[in-house]
Amino acid sequence: MNKKTTGNEMWGGRFSAGPSAIMEEINASIDVDKRLWREDIAGSKAHAAMLAQRGIISAEDHAEIARGLSQIGDEIEAGTFNFSAALEDIHMNIEARLKEIIGEAAGRLHTARSRNDQVATDFRLWCRQTCQDMDTALAGLQATLARRAEAEAATIMPGFTHLQSAQPVTFGHHCLAYVEMFARDRGRFQDARKRLNESPLGAAALAGTSFDIDRQATAAALAFDKPMANSLDAVSARDFAAELLAACAICATHISRLSEEIVIWSSAQFGFITLSDDFSTGSSIMPQKKNPDAAELCRAKSGRIIGDLNGLLIMLKGLPLAYSKDMQEDKEQTFDAVDALALCLAAMTGMVASLHVNRPAMHSAAATGFSTATDLADWLVRTLGLPFRDAHHVTGALVAMAEQKGCDLPDLTLDEIQSVHSGVTDDVFSVLSVENSVASRMSYGGTAPENVRQQAALWIERLEGTAS
């Protein structure tokens, strides 16, 4: 019988590779962390400059290191760099190449540093840039929504509670609700950025270093606000990534709610909007179909983004200080969430910018379902002095009457209305139209077209610096 030549005889049966190859596969992170190359080179340059400044390495070695690192940056940019899984991660890939380019001096770069503070530094720099990118993408989406709000300030649609027609609102008002949500999302990314902007570099493996380094200088060179005050915390903290992912998860939840609305609104039964061909797909079997795939995928991706946050927190929660290799998994989840959200934001901006609003469909849906019943009750309170509870009761009776007749509230005759409450006058009809209903909602934050126009103009001014 042929014995397997690779693998451990006790457990190697299902593996085609030997233990060292499996170890390499589980250990290597280069496929994921290669995207930290810019940050890794920046961190190394700052570190080397500080070492030279402090006389820990010579000026000549520093010059060589800086030249070699720049060349590596060019090679990676040009796609000619050879990434190797045997070299585990981005840090060792770059250092190994540095040695090939400049020789022995490369070995001096890692003085007073460890991969633990190195990776924490790189990852913070990457997350910092991401906070900024998310902010920019969100501002673009907000501007697109605010422009829509301006154009649709007087477009009447049904407002829902429990997905049942509640009161008429304007589509512009609905768009601005999301502008507000995305403003808070931006605030969360800005907050995360502020808190993460401290430098772990120089914490070394976990305890600091006996070399006389200048952590203020490397922090300043990398535009961090200050060096982190505790070396154990510096190498083991990942709450900055958790905070970034929490901001992503909440933002994705908002994107998902809007996606759900787009799915509903674009259905034949609602017909409130038509997605542009660019952001919908056909069915391979049903020729009539135009599917809101982009919205559905945004809705779905929120699930994985929330999952990434969960995965990161669960990975972290049992880890003793300081560094554990578990933490290598932080990047895959972070990159996954950020990539997914960036794509969702781009797709949502495209969908909102290009969708067609079917105003007549929105309007006729708004006028059904007795949506001005509250206006009628308010009229009874204001004009006849009824207590709201009584007005509510009278209105309920009128709704029942209309329902029985198979008509809407404005279609009842004055006689019919007076049979329920004799004090009602002709004036009541002025509040039963959806136009009057929305126009009357002038309270601050209300749906009146005039309010919506003002708010949209404010947002456009804030976002684009040009009110129109």
Joined together, the tokens standing for residue 319 give 């880890």
Q: Which helix (H) or strand (E) holds 166?
A: strand 164-170
Q: How far apart are CA 146 and CA 179, in angstroms?
A: 7
By beta-carbon proximity to ligand ARG, the closer residue of 67 and 325 is 325
Per the annotation, the verdict on 283 as an active-site residue is yes
By beta-carbon proximity to ligand ARG, the closer residue of 90 and 157 is 90
- 267, 283, 324, 430: which one is catalytic? 283
Q: How far apart are CA 443 and CA 52, in angstroms?
A: 65
Query: Is residue 51 within 8 Å of residue 57, measured between CB atoms?
Result: yes
Stretch that binds ligand ARG, among 38-46, 59-67, 169-177, 320-328 (CB under 6 A): 320-328
Q: Shortest gap between Cβ of 43 and ligand ARG (angstroms)?
A: 12
Q: Half-sphere exposure of residue 269, counting CA atoms within 13 Å on the CB side?
A: 2
Q: Shortest gap between Cβ of 19 and ligand ARG (angstroms)?
A: 19
By beta-carbon proximity to ligand ARG, the closer residue of 92 and 353 is 92
By beta-carbon proximity to ligand ARG, the closer residue of 36 and 376 is 36
> Which of 96, 94, 101, 111 lies closest to 55 in space, CA to CA?
111
Q: Shortest gap between Cβ of 351 and ligand ARG (angstroms)?
A: 36
Question: SS3 breakdown of the chain: % helix, strand, coil, rounded to 5?
Answer: 70, 5, 25
Stretch that binds ligand ARG, among 210-218, 291-299, 325-333, 345-353 (CB under 6 A): 325-333
Q: Shortest gap between Cβ of 149 and ligand ARG (angstroms)?
A: 44
- 162, 210, 284, 443: which one is catalytic? 162
Q: Does 33 bind ligand ARG (CB under 6 A)?
A: yes
By beta-carbon proximity to ligand ARG, the closer residue of 203 and 377 is 203
By beta-carbon proximity to ligand ARG, the closer residue of 146 and 241 is 241
Q: Which helix (H) or strand (E) holds 25?
A: helix 19-27
Q: What is the CA radius of gyration of the chain?
A: 31
**In terms of residues, how long is the chain?**
468
Q: How far apart are CA 244 and CA 191, in angstroms?
A: 9
Q: Shortest gap between Cβ of 325 and ligand ARG (angstroms)?
A: 6
Q: Which residues pair with 281 in a beta bridge?
A: 291
Q: Shortest gap between Cβ of 189 and ligand ARG (angstroms)?
A: 23
By beta-carbon proximity to ligand ARG, the closer residue of 89 and 152 is 89
Query: Is residue 455 within 8 Å of residue 148, measured between CB atoms?
Result: no
Among 255, 275, 327, 460, binds ligand ARG (CB under 6 A): 327
Q: Mark 70-99 with x for binding to ligand ARG (rule: CB under 6 A) and - for no binding.
A: -------------------x----------
By beta-carbon proximity to ligand ARG, the closer residue of 33 and 152 is 33
End-to-end CA, the chain: 84
**Amino acid letter, 421:** H
Residue 447: C-alpha distances to residues 47, 80, 147, 175, 321 (Å): 56, 57, 16, 11, 53
Q: Mark 279-318 with x for binding to ligand ARG (rule: CB under 6 A) and - for no binding.
A: ----------------------------------------
Q: How far apart are CA 352 and CA 140, in angstroms?
A: 11
Q: Which helix (H) or strand (E) holds 201?
A: none
> DSSP 3-state assignment of 357?
strand
Stretch that binds ligand ARG, among 277-285, 322-330, 388-396, 441-449 (CB under 6 A): 322-330
Q: Shortest gap between Cβ of 168 and ligand ARG (angstroms)?
A: 54
Q: How far apart are CA 121 and CA 234, in angstroms?
A: 9
Stretch that binds ligand ARG, among 214-222, 324-332, 347-355, 453-461 (CB under 6 A): 324-332
Using CB under 6 A as the binding criterion, the count of chain residues that bind ligand ARG stands at 10
Torsion region of 113: left, alpha or beta (phi above 0 gives left; psi -120 to 50 gives alpha): beta
> Which of 217, 208, 282, 297 lies closest to 252 in space, CA to CA?
297
User: Cα angle vertex 101, ends 96, 106, to 5°?
Assistant: 55
Among 37, 182, 265, 323, binds ligand ARG (CB under 6 A): 323
Q: Which of residues 105-164 bind ligand ARG (CB under 6 A)?
A: 115-116, 119
Per the annotation, the verdict on 162 as an active-site residue is yes
Residue with tokens 């945004």: 298
Q: Mark 196-225 with x for binding to ligand ARG (rule: CB under 6 A) and - for no binding.
A: ------------------------------
Residue with tokens 């609003």: 357
Query: Is residue 170 within 8 Å of residue 152, measured between CB atoms?
Result: yes
By beta-carbon proximity to ligand ARG, the closer residue of 92 and 154 is 92
Q: Shortest gap between Cβ of 32 and ligand ARG (angstroms)?
A: 8
Q: Shortest gap between Cβ of 251 and ligand ARG (angstroms)?
A: 25
> DSSP 3-state assignment of 296?
helix
Active site residues: 162, 283
Which chain residues interact with ligand ARG by CB under 6 A? Answer: 29, 33, 89, 115-116, 119, 323, 325, 327-328
